[in-house]
Amino acid sequence: MKFKTTLLLVFLVSVNHLFAQTDSTKTPSFFAGQITATNNGVSLIPSFSLGKPAVLFDLSIGKGRLSFDPMLRFAMDGKPWAFVLWWRYKAIQQKNFKMSVGAHPAFVFRQEEANVNGVNTSYLKAQRFFAWEATPVLSIHKNIALGFSYLGSTGLTKDVTQSTTFLSFKTIFSNLTWYKDWQATITPQFFYLKMDDLDGTYVSGSLVISKKKSPFTLTTMFSKKLRSALAGDDLLWSVGLNYNFNHQFRRIN
Protein backbone atom coordinates (compact mmCIF):
# COMPACT_ATOMS: atom_id res chain seq x y z
CA MET A 1 0.00 0.00 0.00
CA LYS A 2 2.86 2.39 0.83
CA PHE A 3 4.46 1.61 -2.54
CA LYS A 4 1.23 2.44 -4.42
CA THR A 5 0.85 5.72 -2.54
CA THR A 6 4.47 6.64 -3.23
CA LEU A 7 4.01 5.83 -6.94
CA LEU A 8 1.00 8.14 -7.13
CA LEU A 9 2.85 10.98 -5.36
CA VAL A 10 5.85 10.65 -7.69
CA PHE A 11 3.54 10.80 -10.70
CA LEU A 12 1.78 13.94 -9.46
CA VAL A 13 5.11 15.67 -8.74
CA SER A 14 6.27 14.79 -12.27
CA VAL A 15 3.08 16.28 -13.71
CA ASN A 16 3.65 19.50 -11.78
CA HIS A 17 7.25 19.65 -13.09
CA LEU A 18 6.06 19.21 -16.69
CA PHE A 19 3.59 22.08 -16.32
CA ALA A 20 6.34 24.28 -14.90
CA GLN A 21 8.53 23.65 -17.96
CA THR A 22 5.86 24.86 -20.42
CA ASP A 23 6.22 28.35 -21.91
CA SER A 24 2.84 29.83 -21.00
CA THR A 25 3.26 32.83 -23.34
CA LYS A 26 3.52 30.64 -26.49
CA THR A 27 1.54 27.49 -25.73
CA PRO A 28 -2.24 27.87 -25.43
CA SER A 29 -4.19 26.22 -22.64
CA PHE A 30 -7.27 24.26 -23.60
CA PHE A 31 -10.54 23.10 -22.11
CA ALA A 32 -12.37 20.52 -24.19
CA GLY A 33 -14.83 17.76 -23.61
CA GLN A 34 -17.88 15.75 -24.45
CA ILE A 35 -21.14 15.39 -22.53
CA THR A 36 -23.16 12.29 -23.41
CA ALA A 37 -26.68 11.15 -22.60
CA THR A 38 -26.96 7.41 -23.27
CA ASN A 39 -29.41 4.57 -22.81
CA ASN A 40 -26.65 2.42 -21.27
CA GLY A 41 -23.51 3.71 -19.57
CA VAL A 42 -20.60 1.64 -20.90
CA SER A 43 -17.44 1.23 -18.84
CA LEU A 44 -13.95 2.40 -19.81
CA ILE A 45 -13.38 -1.28 -20.64
CA PRO A 46 -16.25 -1.95 -23.09
CA SER A 47 -17.28 -5.34 -21.72
CA PHE A 48 -19.10 -3.92 -18.69
CA SER A 49 -21.86 -1.36 -18.35
CA LEU A 50 -24.03 0.36 -15.78
CA GLY A 51 -27.02 -1.45 -17.30
CA LYS A 52 -29.24 1.64 -17.33
CA PRO A 53 -29.34 5.20 -18.75
CA ALA A 54 -26.46 7.45 -17.77
CA VAL A 55 -24.87 10.86 -18.27
CA LEU A 56 -21.15 10.83 -19.09
CA PHE A 57 -18.74 13.75 -18.75
CA ASP A 58 -15.41 13.33 -20.58
CA LEU A 59 -13.31 16.45 -20.01
CA SER A 60 -9.78 17.52 -20.93
CA ILE A 61 -7.92 20.45 -19.38
CA GLY A 62 -4.28 21.14 -20.15
CA LYS A 63 -1.49 22.88 -21.99
CA GLY A 64 0.81 21.56 -24.69
CA ARG A 65 1.36 17.83 -24.36
CA LEU A 66 0.04 17.42 -20.84
CA SER A 67 -3.61 17.18 -19.84
CA PHE A 68 -5.91 16.29 -16.97
CA ASP A 69 -8.79 14.22 -18.39
CA PRO A 70 -11.45 13.42 -15.79
CA MET A 71 -14.18 10.96 -16.78
CA LEU A 72 -17.26 11.41 -14.58
CA ARG A 73 -20.15 8.94 -14.87
CA PHE A 74 -23.60 9.35 -13.32
CA ALA A 75 -26.85 7.42 -13.52
CA MET A 76 -29.80 9.46 -14.79
CA ASP A 77 -31.08 9.82 -11.22
CA GLY A 78 -27.89 11.73 -10.32
CA LYS A 79 -26.16 8.96 -8.37
CA PRO A 80 -22.44 8.73 -9.16
CA TRP A 81 -21.27 5.58 -10.93
CA ALA A 82 -17.53 6.10 -11.53
CA PHE A 83 -14.91 8.87 -11.41
CA VAL A 84 -11.75 8.21 -13.46
CA LEU A 85 -9.16 10.99 -13.02
CA TRP A 86 -6.71 10.65 -15.90
CA TRP A 87 -3.40 12.45 -16.27
CA ARG A 88 -2.09 12.03 -19.84
CA TYR A 89 1.09 13.04 -21.64
CA LYS A 90 1.54 13.02 -25.45
CA ALA A 91 4.95 11.35 -25.50
CA ILE A 92 5.27 11.14 -29.31
CA GLN A 93 3.71 13.63 -31.73
CA GLN A 94 4.85 12.83 -35.27
CA LYS A 95 2.93 13.29 -38.51
CA ASN A 96 1.98 9.64 -38.90
CA PHE A 97 2.68 8.23 -35.46
CA LYS A 98 1.44 9.38 -32.08
CA MET A 99 1.54 7.88 -28.63
CA SER A 100 0.23 9.05 -25.29
CA VAL A 101 0.87 7.60 -21.86
CA GLY A 102 -1.21 8.15 -18.76
CA ALA A 103 -2.19 7.10 -15.28
CA HIS A 104 -5.16 7.64 -13.02
CA PRO A 105 -6.77 6.96 -9.68
CA ALA A 106 -10.36 5.76 -10.09
CA PHE A 107 -13.38 5.46 -7.83
CA VAL A 108 -16.25 3.09 -8.66
CA PHE A 109 -19.38 3.52 -6.54
CA ARG A 110 -21.51 0.60 -5.40
CA GLN A 111 -24.81 0.62 -3.55
CA GLU A 112 -24.55 -1.19 -0.21
CA GLU A 113 -27.31 -2.21 2.21
CA ALA A 114 -26.91 -2.08 6.00
CA ASN A 115 -28.97 -2.41 9.14
CA VAL A 116 -28.23 0.32 11.67
CA ASN A 117 -30.01 0.06 15.04
CA GLY A 118 -32.72 -2.07 13.46
CA VAL A 119 -33.26 0.32 10.54
CA ASN A 120 -32.46 -0.83 6.98
CA THR A 121 -30.52 1.80 5.07
CA SER A 122 -28.44 2.06 1.90
CA TYR A 123 -25.25 3.97 1.15
CA LEU A 124 -22.68 4.38 -1.60
CA LYS A 125 -19.36 2.62 -1.14
CA ALA A 126 -16.32 3.77 -3.16
CA GLN A 127 -14.05 1.08 -4.57
CA ARG A 128 -10.58 2.44 -5.38
CA PHE A 129 -8.18 1.57 -8.21
CA PHE A 130 -4.96 2.89 -9.73
CA ALA A 131 -4.30 2.37 -13.46
CA TRP A 132 -1.87 3.24 -16.25
CA GLU A 133 -2.00 3.13 -20.06
CA ALA A 134 -0.09 3.47 -23.34
CA THR A 135 -1.92 4.17 -26.62
CA PRO A 136 0.18 4.28 -29.81
CA VAL A 137 -1.64 5.19 -33.06
CA LEU A 138 -0.21 4.80 -36.59
CA SER A 139 -1.82 6.71 -39.49
CA ILE A 140 -1.62 4.77 -42.77
CA HIS A 141 -3.99 7.02 -44.77
CA LYS A 142 -5.64 10.38 -44.21
CA ASN A 143 -8.79 8.53 -43.13
CA ILE A 144 -7.36 5.28 -41.72
CA ALA A 145 -5.31 4.66 -38.58
CA LEU A 146 -4.28 1.60 -36.59
CA GLY A 147 -4.40 1.81 -32.81
CA PHE A 148 -3.14 -0.34 -29.98
CA SER A 149 -4.07 0.12 -26.33
CA TYR A 150 -2.57 -1.26 -23.16
CA LEU A 151 -4.27 -0.62 -19.83
CA GLY A 152 -3.22 -2.08 -16.50
CA SER A 153 -4.72 -1.51 -13.08
CA THR A 154 -4.42 -2.60 -9.49
CA GLY A 155 -7.08 -2.58 -6.79
CA LEU A 156 -6.41 -0.38 -3.76
CA THR A 157 -8.94 -2.16 -1.54
CA LYS A 158 -9.29 -5.87 -0.81
CA ASP A 159 -12.89 -6.13 -2.02
CA VAL A 160 -12.08 -5.41 -5.69
CA THR A 161 -10.18 -7.05 -8.55
CA GLN A 162 -6.50 -6.82 -7.64
CA SER A 163 -4.98 -7.02 -11.13
CA THR A 164 -6.43 -6.09 -14.54
CA THR A 165 -4.81 -6.22 -17.99
CA PHE A 166 -6.58 -4.85 -21.08
CA LEU A 167 -5.04 -5.15 -24.57
CA SER A 168 -6.80 -3.98 -27.71
CA PHE A 169 -6.18 -3.56 -31.41
CA LYS A 170 -8.45 -1.30 -33.46
CA THR A 171 -8.76 0.23 -36.90
CA ILE A 172 -10.06 3.79 -37.08
CA PHE A 173 -11.89 4.90 -40.24
CA SER A 174 -12.40 8.63 -39.62
CA ASN A 175 -14.08 11.59 -41.35
CA LEU A 176 -15.87 9.45 -43.92
CA THR A 177 -18.21 11.75 -45.86
CA TRP A 178 -21.44 9.99 -46.73
CA TYR A 179 -23.96 12.79 -47.40
CA LYS A 180 -23.15 16.47 -47.99
CA ASP A 181 -21.83 17.80 -44.63
CA TRP A 182 -22.44 14.56 -42.77
CA GLN A 183 -19.48 12.40 -41.72
CA ALA A 184 -18.95 9.08 -39.98
CA THR A 185 -16.16 7.51 -37.94
CA ILE A 186 -16.16 3.70 -37.69
CA THR A 187 -13.91 1.87 -35.20
CA PRO A 188 -13.90 -1.94 -35.10
CA GLN A 189 -11.88 -3.37 -32.20
CA PHE A 190 -10.63 -6.71 -30.90
CA PHE A 191 -9.56 -6.88 -27.26
CA TYR A 192 -8.27 -9.22 -24.57
CA LEU A 193 -9.16 -8.76 -20.92
CA LYS A 194 -7.71 -10.47 -17.85
CA MET A 195 -8.94 -9.81 -14.32
CA ASP A 196 -7.07 -11.71 -11.61
CA ASP A 197 -7.18 -15.38 -12.74
CA LEU A 198 -9.99 -15.05 -15.29
CA ASP A 199 -9.73 -13.81 -18.88
CA GLY A 200 -11.61 -13.44 -22.13
CA THR A 201 -11.52 -12.18 -25.72
CA TYR A 202 -14.05 -9.81 -27.25
CA VAL A 203 -14.95 -7.94 -30.40
CA SER A 204 -16.48 -4.48 -30.29
CA GLY A 205 -17.17 -1.54 -32.53
CA SER A 206 -18.42 2.02 -32.53
CA LEU A 207 -20.02 4.38 -35.03
CA VAL A 208 -19.97 8.16 -34.64
CA ILE A 209 -22.14 10.32 -36.92
CA SER A 210 -21.41 14.05 -37.08
CA LYS A 211 -22.25 17.12 -39.13
CA LYS A 212 -19.69 19.79 -39.95
CA LYS A 213 -19.87 22.87 -37.68
CA SER A 214 -22.37 21.16 -35.36
CA PRO A 215 -21.35 20.50 -31.72
CA PHE A 216 -23.64 17.46 -31.58
CA THR A 217 -22.78 13.90 -32.57
CA LEU A 218 -24.58 10.59 -32.37
CA THR A 219 -22.70 7.52 -31.13
CA THR A 220 -23.60 3.86 -31.06
CA MET A 221 -21.43 0.95 -29.91
CA PHE A 222 -21.56 -2.77 -29.18
CA SER A 223 -19.36 -5.36 -27.47
CA LYS A 224 -19.61 -9.15 -27.95
CA LYS A 225 -17.93 -11.96 -26.04
CA LEU A 226 -15.96 -14.38 -28.18
CA ARG A 227 -14.61 -16.54 -25.34
CA SER A 228 -14.73 -15.40 -21.76
CA ALA A 229 -14.88 -16.71 -18.19
CA LEU A 230 -15.57 -13.21 -16.90
CA ALA A 231 -18.93 -11.96 -15.69
CA GLY A 232 -20.90 -9.61 -17.92
CA ASP A 233 -23.41 -9.71 -20.76
CA ASP A 234 -22.60 -11.76 -23.86
CA LEU A 235 -23.69 -8.77 -25.92
CA LEU A 236 -24.06 -5.17 -24.82
CA TRP A 237 -24.84 -2.05 -26.81
CA SER A 238 -25.56 1.61 -26.31
CA VAL A 239 -26.70 4.71 -28.19
CA GLY A 240 -25.73 8.19 -27.06
CA LEU A 241 -26.26 11.83 -28.00
CA ASN A 242 -23.10 13.87 -27.47
CA TYR A 243 -22.39 17.58 -27.05
CA ASN A 244 -18.78 18.49 -27.90
CA PHE A 245 -16.79 21.64 -27.09
CA ASN A 246 -13.20 22.82 -27.43
CA HIS A 247 -11.84 26.16 -26.18
CA GLN A 248 -8.28 27.50 -26.22
CA PHE A 249 -6.80 30.29 -24.10
CA ARG A 250 -3.59 32.30 -24.30
CA ARG A 251 -2.02 34.37 -21.58
CA ILE A 252 -1.83 38.08 -22.43
CA ASN A 253 1.08 39.87 -20.77
Least confident residue range of 19-33, 63-77, 80-94: 19-33
pLDDT at 101 over 70: yes
Does this model's pTM top 0.75? My answer is yes
**Beta-bridge mates of residue 70:** 85
Q: In this predicted model, what pLDDT tens digit does every residue of 20-47 receive, in sequence order?
A: 444 445 778 999 999 999 999 999 898 8
One-letter identity of residue 200: G
Mean pLDDT of 63-79: 94
Least confident of 2-11, 30-39, 202-211: 2-11
Average pLDDT over residues 73-81: 93
Q: What is the mean pLDDT of residues 214-236?
A: 95
